[in-house]
A and B are shown apart, each in its own frame.
Chain A
């Protein structure tokens, strides 16, 4: 087990509400460094909101988030983010390389434009996701899996210690899914912490070593073998999980 005092992400008493409805209720979550963690839960469980709250993109009604014992605002540079693919307009007039270079904007800071070094880093990241032959491709001409790889490459050039990914497997084919998961596992081997919003319960045990079960409240969180139990799943999904047992 990891040392108790080193937590990559520490969420305490987090509550987020849109208008009057709570989307996340009193969440406590500790993510140790170097794990590949899946956040699973039914639709509307607040998975995306949890990621956004960790990133400071939504304002919590209560609670606190720490990245390596410091607030997110001071730790931005060590956190990489992969938003949901559907959150942007892919008809935007730009190409693959340009999108990936956006991952360097945080390190570049204000006004300064990306240079040849940033281009090199972007090319390297594109090679990692197998998209090096698509640099000048207009982004509207990419398939869903290719869009997802571009977003991953953009996060890779952030060269972060912690990665937060919102459904990186959404709408990708089996080949891309395998490519993405081996990339995520490689990140973990290199000591990175990877947090992934995930939908497919079948693959949790194969892909991940940690899991957080979420349904507005945190149901359970810990190593997959202890946490990913049918009892916890039933509590997370209610009656809707029944079909799983009949397999």
Chain B
């Protein structure tokens, strides 16, 4: 009977949240592929943390919690954070990892200061703003899903239109530049697409965990294929599955937070892929090694026998 009760609770709210999480997983999975292949997995982490003060400032300026306004604030701050990292690396002798850590903690710290200021101001409307730190998928409304769908859709369409250019940029930036493609501009565009994917996920997954939504599906997808188009597709599918399964698991048991459950599902896919994927998987690898060793032993055995027979 309990099961049936659960089914009847598959109500409007749950459908909305699941749909939002699925869309989110699709967008961040597909675009995360590019971050992983560029070895910029941590850039997503910096952007998601850097987005936080943007949300606070957008709220302070407008007093509104309309998703589009908050997402816009997050996007501007996240984008500035990414730009700050790129500029620090280009203009100073500070290395990439240090620049990343500096920007991440500075922006995040600034965001936390603004949050406590807002909380102390006693503005009654401020409740719920802190969901952006750890995420709260249950707060996703129909209008949020529409925002995710439209903005995420635009980002994916741009990715598909510039497929060839982005592929070349990631594989061989110098060659792309020699052909006349504006690699710096393409780089900024790709970062902007990542920013979009990240800020769309902040409400559901939160700033702290969002980068896993970019990285995990792509890493899992890489284990199964050697083709970029399949990798992007699989990462999108894994991302969507993680979104859906995480939401359903957390809604079927009370007290399980949705965002972290989505991330755990995504990392479960990573673990399974690393273990079981053909060719790249660990189990496949150890079977192959075992086979190689056995055939080598046989070959060596034959060699050892050979000269003895000759000398007799």
A residues with CB within 8 A of B: 19, 52, 55-57, 73, 76, 79, 81, 83, 87-89, 92-95, 99, 102, 105-106, 108, 110-114, 138, 140, 154
Complex Cα–Cα for A56 and B162 (A): 23
B165 partner residues in chain A, CB cutoff 8 A: 105, 110-111
Q: A147 to nearest B CB, angstroms? A: 12
Interface residue? B168 (CB, 8 A): yes
A105 partner residues in chain B, CB cutoff 8 A: 164-165, 168, 176, 179, 181
Mark B130-174 against chain A: 1 for CB-CB distance below 8 A, else 0: 000000000000000000000000000000011111011011101
On whether the beta carbons of A76 and B37 are closer than 8 Å, the reply is: no
On whether the beta carbons of A89 and B93 are closer than 8 Å, the reply is: no
Complex Cα–Cα for A56 and B179 (A): 10
Q: B223 to nearest A CB, angstroms? A: 11
Most chain B CB neighbours (cut-off 10 Å) among A89, A105, A110, A154: A105
Q: B12 to nearest A CB, angstroms? A: 40
On whether the beta carbons of A95 and B227 are closer than 8 Å, the reply is: yes
Complex Cα–Cα for A19 and B90 (A): 11
Q: Which of B207-221 contact A (CB under 8 A)?
A: none
| Consensus secondary structure, chain B interface | helix
Q: A78 to nearest B CB, angstroms? A: 12
Interface residue? B68 (CB, 8 A): no
A79 partner residues in chain B, CB cutoff 8 A: 178
Most chain A CB neighbours (cut-off 10 Å) among B93, B163, B226: B226
Complex Cα–Cα for A110 and B163 (A): 10
On whether the beta carbons of A95 and B174 are closer than 8 Å, the reply is: no
Most chain A CB neighbours (cut-off 10 Å) among B39, B175, B177: B175
On whether the beta carbons of A94 and B168 are closer than 8 Å, the reply is: no
Complex Cα–Cα for A73 and B178 (A): 9
- Within 8 Å by CB of A83, from B175, B180, B226, B228, lies B175
Known: A93-B37, A93-B222, A111-B164. A102 touches B174 (CB 8 A): no
On whether the beta carbons of A111 and B180 are closer than 8 Å, the reply is: no
A92 partner residues in chain B, CB cutoff 8 A: 37, 170-171, 228
A87 partner residues in chain B, CB cutoff 8 A: 172, 174
Q: A20 to nearest B CB, angstroms? A: 11
On whether the beta carbons of A57 and B164 are closer than 8 Å, the reply is: no
- Please name 22 pairs of A and B residues whose Cβ atoms are closer than 8 Å in the assembled complex, sorted by A: A57-B177, A79-B178, A83-B172, A83-B175, A87-B172, A87-B174, A88-B171, A92-B37, A92-B170, A93-B228, A93-B230, A94-B228, A95-B227, A102-B168, A102-B171, A105-B181, A106-B179, A111-B161, A111-B164, A113-B163, A113-B164, A138-B226
Q: Which residue of A lies closest to B38 (CB)?
A: A89
Interface residue? B231 (CB, 8 A): yes
A138 partner residues in chain B, CB cutoff 8 A: 226
Known: A73-B180, A110-B165, A111-B162. A93 touches B170 (CB 8 A): no
Complex Cα–Cα for A154 and B171 (A): 13
A95 partner residues in chain B, CB cutoff 8 A: 226-227
B192 partner residues in chain A, CB cutoff 8 A: none
Q: Which residue of A lies closest to B171 (CB)?
A: A92
Q: Which residue of A lies closest to B180 (CB)?
A: A76
A55 partner residues in chain B, CB cutoff 8 A: 177-178
Complex Cα–Cα for A99 and B25 (A): 30
A57 partner residues in chain B, CB cutoff 8 A: 174, 177-178
Closest 3 CB pairs of A and B: A106-B179, A81-B178, A138-B226
B175 partner residues in chain A, CB cutoff 8 A: 81, 83, 102, 154
A83 partner residues in chain B, CB cutoff 8 A: 172, 174-175
Q: Which residue of A lies closest to B222 (CB)?
A: A93
Q: Which residue of A lies closest to B229 (CB)?
A: A93
Q: Given contacts A111-B164, A113-B163, list 5 more A-B pairs with CB under 8 A.
A: A92-B228, A95-B226, A102-B172, A113-B164, A114-B164
Q: Which residue of B lies closest to A92 (CB)?
A: B171
